[in-house]
Amino acid sequence: MKLWKDTFGHAQSRWQLAGWLLAFAFPVLALVVDKAASTIYAIFFLAGLWLLVRRRVERPDPLMQWVLVAFTAYFVVGVLSFFLGEQTRLGEKLLGRDIRFFGAVLCFAVVSMATLPPRLLRLSFIVAGVVTGGGSLIEVIADESGHTRASGETIAILFGHLSAASAMITATFALDSSGRRHISVWLGFLGFMTAVILSGTRGALVSILVVLAWLVVRWVARSAASSLRKTLIISGVTVLTAVAALLYSASDRATLLANEFGRIISSNSQLGEVAWPEPPACLNSRNFLEWYLDASEFQGRGEIRASITNADGLAAFGCSHDFAIHLENVSQHSLGWMYAPARSIPFNNEPRGEIIAKGNAQISMGDTPPEQREEFDTEGFARLKVVAAGANDPRFLVILEPDKEIKFVPFITVTGEYEFSWTISSIGARLAMWKSAIAAFRAAPILGRGAGSFPVSVGNFVAEGKVSPTIEKFDHAHNEILNVAAERGILGLLTLFGVYAAPFWLFYRRRDAFGLAGMAFVASIFLSGLTETIFNHSLGITYYCMLILLLASAPREAVDGREKSAITTTNNA
C-alpha cells in the first residue's frame, strides 16, 4: 500500500479510489473483454447522475464546455434527422448508440472529480497495450485455420482502428519519457501495434504512419538530440512512408483495371448487359476478353498459355463475334489454374454464374474442394452453369491438367454482373459506397435522409442500376464524413467536425504530454474515419468519449508548480 501511495498518491476517499481503479481498467479491458467498455461507462454515467441530483457537479472550464456542447449537438442533430427524415430500424439503433455522446456530460462530472494521477493513467495504457497485443496473439494462434483476424471484443476493422489510436497515445508518452519508463511505454506501443497488424486493418496502418510521422518530426524539432540521432529518426519515418505507399500499390492496379473496364463498356455496344427474363448476352468482344485476361490471376506449377482466339460456333449462343479465351497447359506434369476477375454477386449474394466453353477442365466458383468442382469435357461449345457450394467467392476458377486446354467466354445472367466487378475488392466497394453517400447527400443536403437511412439510399440506387448490388449488405458508407453527410446533412457535418475540433483544440491548449497524446488520439480517430465509420459502433463512441475525458482530466503542472485539473473550475455557488 505504501508503494501505491508513493507512486500514485493518496486517494482522499474510497469513492475516489474506486474512480481511479475504474479509469485504470477502462483502456485495459475495453478492447478485449466483452461489454467491459459499456459497463464501466454505465458506472460513470450513473455516478454522474447521482452527483447531479446531489448538486455536486463541478463546472468545466470554457474549453471543456465546448467539447461537451459538441458531443450534445451531435446527438441532437441525429435525433432531428431521424424524426424529420426516413425512420428505419437501424436509425433507432444508431440513436441508442449516439446517446453515449450526450451521456459523456455526466461521465465528465465523475472523471473531473476523480483527479486521476498522471502516473496511473500512463500505466493503464502500458498495461492496455500488453493485454491487447497479447490477447490478439492468443486469438490468432488459437485458430487452427490460420485465417483469423484479431478482433478482440468487436469486429476486426474497428478493433484495428481503436488499437491504432491507442498506439498513438503510448507513442506520445514514449517520446516524452526516459529510462526504464521509456522502455515500458514502448512495450505498450508494440502491444497495440501487434493488435493492429493482426487485425489486418490497412486503414489503421496508414493513420498510424501519418500521426507517428507528425509526432516524431515534432519531437525531433523540439529535442536536443544529436544530428546522427535526428538523421536516423527521419530516415525511419521515410521508410515508414514508403511502406504505406506499398500497402496501397495494389489499389492503383485495381483502379486502373476499373477505369479500363469502364472505357471498354462505354465503347462497345455489344457488351450491353441484359437482365432476366430476357435472353442473356455473351461477352465476347475482343477488348473485353483482353481486359479479362489482364485482370486474371494465373497460379500453379503448370505453364498456362493464354490468348484470344477465333472460335467458330459461338453465334448459336447469342454471341456477336467469334472470339474466345484460349487456355492451354503445356506442362507435362503439373496442374495450372486461373482465377477469373471477380463478378458482382447476384442472387442474394450467392455466387453463381455461367460461361460458354469447350475443352477439358475443372471449373468451380471460388476455391472449392475437388469433389465440388464441375468436370467439363466436350468437343463443342456448351453452356455451363456454376453455383458455389460452400464458398463465397465470386470468381471462376479454371483448373487445367497437364496437356489440356479450354476455350470459353463469359455469359451474362443479371444486370451489372460484370459492370461492377471491380467493387468486389474492399477498395472498390468503398468507392461505390462513397459514390452512393455523395448522391444521397445531394438529394437531401440540409438534414440528410435520416440517421440510419444509408442502406435505404443504396437500395434505391441499386434498383436504378447506378451502383453495384454487392454494397447492399453494408449499413454505412465506411467513411465517417460521407456517412454523416448522407444521413444528417450539413447540420450533421458541422456537429461532426465539432466532435473532432473541440477536443483537439482543448488538447492543443494544454501544451503537455497528455495534451499531445490527446491530439494524436483525435487525429488518429479522424484519419480512421476516412475509411471506416467509427461512430456507427457503440464501442467506437464509448472509447472515443471516455479516453478524451480521461486524458483531459489528468492534472498538469501549473505555473506556480502545483498540480491542477485541466478541465474544471470549482463551482463555489
Q: Which pLDDT tens digit goes with each residue over 125-137?
A: 999 999 999 999 9
CA 303-307-312 angle, to 5 degrees, is 125
How far is CA 566 from each of CA 20, 63, 116, 515, 553, rounded to the nearest angstrom?
17, 9, 11, 10, 6
Which range among 4-18, 179-193, 427-441, 456-470 shows the weakest confidence by mean pLDDT?
4-18
Residue, of 542 and 410, whose pLDDT is higher: 542
Rounding to the nearest 10 degrees, give the CA dihedral for residues 447, 452, 455, 461: -10
* pTM of the shown model: 0.77
DSSP annotation of 347 reads H
DSSP 406: E
Element at 232 (helix H, strand E): helix 227-247
Q: Encode pLDDT of 302-339 as tens digits.
A: 788 899 998 888 888 878 788 899 999 888 788 888 88
Taking alpha carbons only, the member of 208, 217, 355, 373 closest to residue 289 is 355
Asked if residue 398 has pLDDT above 50, the reply is: yes
Distance CA 460, CA 307 (A): 40
Asked if 414 and 276 touch (Cβ cutoff 8 Å), the reply is: yes
The answer to whether the CB of 310 falls within 8 A of the CB of 350 is no
Confidence band of 4 (pLDDT split at 50, 70, 90): low
Q: Is the pLDDT of residue 267 over 60?
A: no
Own/partner long-range contacts of 95-101 (Cβ < 8 Å, ≥24 apart): 95/451, 97/535, 97/536, 97/537, 97/538, 97/541, 98/74, 98/451, 98/535, 98/541, 99/75, 100/41, 100/538, 100/541, 100/542, 100/545, 101/71, 101/72, 101/74, 101/75, 101/499, 101/541, 101/545
pLDDT at 502: 95
Angle between helices 249-267 and 286-294 (to 10 degrees): 170
What is the DSSP code (8-state) at residue 57?
P
Show the CA angle centred on residue 219, arms to residues 217 and 220, nearest 5°.
65
What is the radius of gyration, based on Cα positions, of the chain?
A: 28
Please state the separation of Cα 53 from the chain's center in Å.
40
Q: For residue range 506-552, what is the model confidence (pLDDT) as tens digits? A: 999 887 889 989 999 999 999 999 889 999 999 999 999 999 999 99
Q: What is the pLDDT of residue 19?
A: 86
Q: What cell numbers appear for 234 in the block?
A: 527521419
Q: Determine the pLDDT at residue 277.
A: 35
Whether the CB-CB separation of 418 and 343 falls below 8 Å is answered with yes
Rounded Cα gap, residues 87 and 91, in angstroms: 6
Q: Is 246 exposed, middle or buried (0-12, 13-18, 19+ CB in 10 A)?
A: exposed
- HSE-up of 430 (CA within 13 Å, CB side)? 16
Q: Which residues contact 428 (CB under 8 A, 6 or more apart)?
A: 254, 258, 422
* 563, 567, 572, 573 alpha-carbon torsion, rounded to 10°: 180
pLDDT, position 289: 85
Check if the beta carbon of residue 81 is closer than 8 Å to that of residue 444: no
Say what the pLDDT of residue 230 is.
53
Q: For residue 569, what pLDDT is reported?
A: 44
| CB-based contact 117:482 (threshold 8 Å) | no
Report the alpha-carbon distance of residue 49 to residue 109 in Å, rounded.
Answer: 9
pLDDT at 318: 75
- Mean pLDDT, the chain, rounded, equals 80
- pLDDT > 90? residue 192: yes
- Given the C-alpha cell 511502406, which residue does it identify? 243
Cis-peptide, bond into residue 277, ω within 30° of zero: yes
Show the 3-state SS of 279-328: CCCECCCHHHHHHHHHCCEEEECCCEEEEEEECCCCHHHCCCCCEEEEEE
Q: Is 312 left (phi over 0), alpha (psi -120 to 50) or beta?
A: beta
Could you identify the residue written with the cell 459497463?
A: 39
The most confident of the ranges 77-86, 178-187, 410-419 is 77-86
> And the C-alpha cell for 3?
508503494
Residue showing cell 450534445: 72
Is the pLDDT assigned to residue 565 strictly greater than 50?
no
What is the model's pLDDT at position 60?
82
What letter does residue 467 receive in the DSSP assignment?
Answer: S
- Between 490 and 114, the more confident residue is 490
Distance, in Å, from the CA atom of 407 to the CA atom of 377, rounded to the nearest integer, reads: 11
pLDDT confidence bin for 242, thresholds 50/70/90:
low
Q: Mean pLDDT lowest for which of 102-116, 463-477, 517-531?
A: 463-477
Min mean pLDDT across 187-191, 344-348, 361-365, 369-373 is at: 344-348
Q: Which of 385 and 266 is assigned the larger pLDDT?
A: 385
Residue whose C-alpha cell is 481503479: 21
Q: Identify which of 386, 411, 414 has the alpha carbon closest to the alpha carbon of residue 277.
A: 414
Question: Above 90 in pLDDT, residue 221?
Answer: no
Give residue 195's identity as a one-letter amino acid code: A
- Report the relative pairing of strands 304-310 and 556-557 from DSSP bridges: unpaired
